[in-house]
Amino acid sequence: MKNGDYTQEEDVIITRMRSEGNKNHGIALRLDRSLDSIKGRARYLIKKGLIKSRGTANGRYPEGRKLRKWTDEDIKKFKQLRGSGKPYAEIAKELGRTVDAIQQTAIRLMRKDDTLSSRNTPTDTKIYNLNSELAKIGLMLWWAEGTKGGHSVQFVNSSPDMIKVYMRFLREIGADISRLRVRIKVMNSSQVEECQGYWSKVAKIPINNFTKPIVRGKKIDDAYKEHKGCLTITYFSSNLKRQMEAKIDEIKEEILKQS
């Protein structure tokens, strides 16, 4: 995870992602920085007048809506619904909250309780098979293109061939697909249904494993008409992440010894 001063490019990314409605957690993953660091930088940019605050001085959200605190009863109900296999959209409707609020709460609780990471899937204690040739290819893909922060294994790409190889890697090492969540990022909302269907076929992942898409809200020009967006594959297992990092270190040391 990166530390130190922010670059001008990172400030531009923060400004753009906030304008697109992305939460601080998503920005932190994108820039490989801590959530507290992103929050602090956002406050600095707001103070400088470079980005707008999402709230107002009286602690209210736009349109006068107050931030509803989560009670112990809310958390208990959330865990019950999540454990029964309910998707975020249904949980949000039942609890009277937005899908974004439900997702952010899920992320917060996952850090404390790994069993919430995949709808009542037991804590991951599996020893994954990372010794095959395909496993080594998958490890190198994640090392080069994966997100290294957080407690999950995340891979982002727009190449269907890379996605196919990475999914074959996950299946070969014994990954539990119920722990998998995928999200598309597209230019315009008109692309969502088509692109989700496309990536569902490419990755061989059911549509119900897809979470709320990121929509940039821009007009599609000719250069992007055939573009299917970008796919983020997240496997909720800090156990697998630790094993992958250890295996990559082992491979790296072996290669460096020969140089």
Walk along the chain (259 residues) and give the pLDDT tens digit of each residue: 677 888 888 888 888 888 777 778 778 877 888 888 888 898 888 888 888 776 543 333 444 445 678 888 888 888 888 766 677 777 888 888 877 777 777 767 765 555 454 444 456 778 899 999 999 999 999 999 998 877 789 999 999 999 999 999 999 999 988 788 899 998 888 888 899 999 999 999 988 889 888 887 666 665 566 778 899 999 988 889 989 999 999 999 888 888 6
**HEC per residue, 120-138:** CCCCCCCCCCCCCHHHHHH
In this prediction, residue 239 carries a pLDDT of: 87
What are residue 97's phi and psi, to 5 degrees?
-130, 170
Q: Rounded CA gap, 196 and 241, in Å?
A: 26
Is 1.10.10 the CATH number for 1-56?
yes
Written as six digits, the tokens of 103 are 């997702």
Is 3.30.1330 the CATH number for 133-258?
yes
Q: Hey, where are the domains in the chain?
A: 1-56, 68-123, 133-258
CB 24 within 8 A of CB 42: yes
Measured between alpha carbons, how far is residue 212 from residues 96, 176, 196, 243, 246 in Å? 17, 21, 11, 29, 32
Element (H, E) at 157: strand 153-157
**Tokens 């990559």 map to which residue?**
248
Query: In terms of DSSP bridges, do strands 146-147 and 180-186 run parallel, antiparallel, or are they unpaired?
Result: unpaired
CB 201 within 8 A of CB 182: no
Q: Rounded CA gap, 153 and 130, in Å?
A: 14
Q: What share of the chain is helix, strand, coil (3-state, %, to 5)?
A: 55, 10, 35
Written as six digits, the tokens of 148 are 């290294």
Torsion of CA 89, 94, 99, 101, to 10 degrees: -150
Counting every residue written for the chain, the total comes to 259
In this prediction, residue 19 carries a pLDDT of: 77
